[in-house]
Amino acid sequence: MRLDHPAAGSGLAGTGSLGLIESSWQRAEEHGLGPGHELALPFDGDRDGETRLGRAADPVLDRLARQLTGSSMCVMLGDSRGWIVRREAASSQLARKLDRITIVQGALASEETAATNGLGTVLVERRPLVLKGADHFIESMQVFTCVGAPIIHPITGRLEGVLDLSCSVEDTNDLLLPLITAAAGEIEQRLYDLASMRERALFDAFVTRNRRTSHAVACLNEDVLFTNTRAAQLFDPHDHALLWDWAVGVVRTGRETTGTVVLSGARAVVAHASPVSDRTGAAGVLVTFAEARPRSQQSVEVPRAAKGSPGRNSWSEAWRGVQRAVAQARLVPGCVLLRGEPGVGKATLARTVLIDDGGREDDPVDLDCRSSESGGTGWAAAAVRAVEVGRPVLLRHVEAAEPDAAVAVCHAARRAATPRIAMTGSAAELPCHWESVVDVVIEVPPLRDRRADIPALVDEVIRERVGAGRRVRCTAAALALLMARQWLGNTTELRRTVATALVNSMHCDITEHDLPQECRPRQRSGSRRLTDLELAERDTIVAALRSVGWKREAAAASLGVSRATIYRKIRHLGITDPPRR
C-alpha cells in the first residue's frame, strides 16, 4: 500500500487527519487505482447546473468567480455523486492544468474515478476537508491543493453536493477553508429559501413540536423525514417507509390518529399522528411517540444467524425461526434437507448446518446432483468417498439425482457412524430413496412470505459492496418499490438488483431512479401502491400460477375463480411472468 508521507498540515483543519487520508488511499486501491494512474475521468456533456442545487449555487459561484479574478484559483461545484456541474477557473494557466488531467465540467470526480480529491473524498467523509499536494493519492494531482465543503440541505438533511476551491500548492493559505465553508453555508441557506412549501411546512411543524415536548418526534412525507435525537434512536434508515405506510392514512383523511407502529425487528411503538398542511394542501404527517426504549437499550434474544446473515433484530420471525431450526440441526450428526424455492438461500444455510460444535466450518464437499459428469453419477462417487472418511457433504438439487446414484449415497450414509450431510431441494415431495436417510427437514420460506426481511437484506448487500465505513443507504422511495416487488427469484434476485442499483448510483445513496427498469413499473395516471390486502391477494395468485407452471386457466380453476377474473386480477395487481431460462 502506498502510505509513505506524514500528511502533515493536511486534511480537516484542527484535527489529526492521517487516518482520514490513509482510509481514502485504501479505498482508492480497492477501486483498482494506483499512484501513477493516468486520469481519464468519465464525461457526460449533458451535466449542467439546471437543478435545484445549481439554482441555489449560481449566485454564490458568480460572486466567488468575481472575487478570484486575477488569482490562480478555481472554484468547482459537484453534485451528490461527484459530477462536476460547474467549473470557474480564474486563470487560463490553471484551466489548462486541470484540462490535462480531465478535471472539467461534466467529468465525474468521485473517489471511484479520481481517488483522494476535494470533491469525491468530501462526499465520503461529509465534512470540510483540505487536501494539500501529496495528500492526493494520484501523483498528477499532487501539484494542487483542494479545499472542499459539503452542501447539506437544511431541511431534508441530504448531501446535495460539494463546493471545492482548487489552487497550486504554492498558493495555499489558511483563509481558503473558512472562505469555502462560508460559501457552502450560503448555498445551504439558498436551498432553504428555494425549498418547496411542503418541505417548509414540514420543517416548521417539526421545529415547533420539538420545542414543546421531550418526547420522540418525527415529521415526514414520502420523500422527507425529520427526527429529533430521541426519535432517531428508535429508527433504522429503512423505517421511513414503514412509518409512512402507517401514517399515510392521516394524509388521506385529514384526521388525527393514535395507534401502534411496528418498526423493523417487530419493535412496536405507540404513536400519535396529525396532518401537516401548506397553502396548497396536505404536506405530510407529524408524529409524536410515547415513551419507548431506544434500540440500544432493548434486550432481544437473537439466535445465531446463518453465515453471511447478521444476527440483527431486523429479521422477521419467519427467518429467525429458520435460523433456530438450523442451530438445532447443528447439534447432532445426520442428514438435513433444506427445502424451498430457487434463490431463497438454501445453500448458505446448508453450509451453516455443517459447522461443527466448536464453531469451525469444515470445507464441505460441495456437489450438484444435476452434474452430467460420468453419465450423471460422478457426484455420487465423490459423495460416497467423502461420507466414508467423515467429511461433511453438501448435496444440491437432490430431487434431480439419478435413482441409482442416490441409492448409493444413501447406503453410504446409513453405514457411516456420524454422517454430516446437508441437502438442498426445491421439490415439494422428495423421492423415496432420500426419505429413508433424511433426519430433519427445514422449510425455507420464499421472500414474498417474509417481506419484512427486505430492508435488512438491502442493508446487508450495501455493507458487503461498499464496506461498513461508508454511509450509503437506500432511500424510502426506492425501498418502497423493492418491498412491493414479487421477487420470483427470491433473495438471489434481490441481491442482484441491489448490486446493480449500487453500480448505477456510483455507490452513493440508492434512489428509485437507480433501480433496474423492471423495478420501476410504468405508472398510470392516478396509480397508487398496493395495500397490504392487495399484496396478500397477489401473493396467493402468484403461488397458484407457480404451482401450475404459470398457466392462467389452470390457476383460475385451482382458486375457484373465472378465467376473466384471474386475467383482470393479474393486470390490476401488476403480476408478470418470471423470466424464461
Radius of gyration of the chain (CA): 28
Give the best-scoring range by mean pLDDT among 263-267, 302-306, 349-353: 349-353
> 567: which 3 cell numbers?
386475467
Q: Is the pLDDT of residue 142 over 90?
A: yes
pLDDT recorded at residue 563: 81
pLDDT recorded at residue 98: 92
The one-character DSSP state at 141 is G
Query: What is the amino acid identity at position 167?
Result: C
Q: Taking residues 430-450, what's their average pLDDT?
A: 86
pLDDT recorded at residue 39: 86
Query: From edge to edge, which strands make up the β-sheet containing 84-89?
Result: 84-89, 73-79, 159-168, 144-152, 129-132
pLDDT recorded at residue 295: 43
Q: Residue 446 — very low, low, confident or very high, per pLDDT cuts 50/70/90?
A: very high
Higher pLDDT, 496 or 8: 496
Per-residue pLDDT of 488-507, as tens digits, reads 889 999 999 999 888 888 77
**Which parts of 254-345 fold into alpha helices (H)?**
317-329
Per-residue pLDDT of 231-282, as tens digits, reads 877 776 667 777 877 787 777 778 888 887 777 655 678 888 899 887 767 7
Q: Taking residues 192-214, what's their average pLDDT?
A: 84
Q: Taking residues 115-138, what's their average pLDDT?
A: 92
Query: What is the amino acid identity at position 549?
Result: G
What's the CA dihedral at 402, 403, 404, 408 to 10 degrees?
100
pLDDT recorded at residue 150: 95
**DSSP sequence for 91-137:** SHHHHHHHHHTT--TTBB-SHHHH-S-TTHHHHHH-S-EEEEGGGSS
Q: Residue 311 — very low, low, confident or very high, per pLDDT cuts 50/70/90?
A: very low
pLDDT recorded at residue 8: 39
pLDDT mean across residues, the chain: 81
Q: How far is it, in rounded angstroms, from Cα 572 to Cα 363?
A: 48
Q: Residue 423 — very low, low, confident or very high, per pLDDT cuts 50/70/90?
A: very high
Q: Taking residues 448-452, what's their average pLDDT?
A: 86
pLDDT recorded at residue 525: 39
Q: Residue 309 — very low, low, confident or very high, per pLDDT cuts 50/70/90?
A: very low
Q: Residue 357 — very low, low, confident or very high, per pLDDT cuts 50/70/90?
A: low
Q: How far is it, in rounded angstroms, from Cα 215 to Cα 289?
A: 6
> 378: which 3 cell numbers?
460422478
- 575 within 8 A of 538, measured Cβ to Cβ: yes
Q: Is the pLDDT of residue 170 over 80?
A: yes
Please give the sequence-ordered ranges of beta strands (E in DSSP) within 264-326, or none if there are none: 267-278, 281-289
pLDDT recorded at residue 51: 77
Q: How far is it, in rounded angstroms, from Cα 181 to Cα 198?
A: 28
Q: How far is it, in rounded angstroms, from Cα 419 to Cα 355?
A: 13
Higher pLDDT, 313 or 416: 416
Q: Is the pLDDT of residue 36 over 60?
A: yes
Per-residue pLDDT of 73-125, as tens digits, reads 999 999 988 999 999 998 888 899 999 999 999 999 999 899 999 999 999 88
Q: How far is it, in rounded angstroms, from Cα 53 to Cα 581?
A: 44
Least confident of 60-64, 117-121, 349-353: 349-353
> 59: which 3 cell numbers?
449566485
Q: Taking residues 459-483, what's their average pLDDT?
A: 81
Q: Is the pLDDT of residue 377 over 50?
A: yes
Q: Is the pLDDT of residue 551 over 70?
A: yes
pLDDT recorded at residue 15: 36
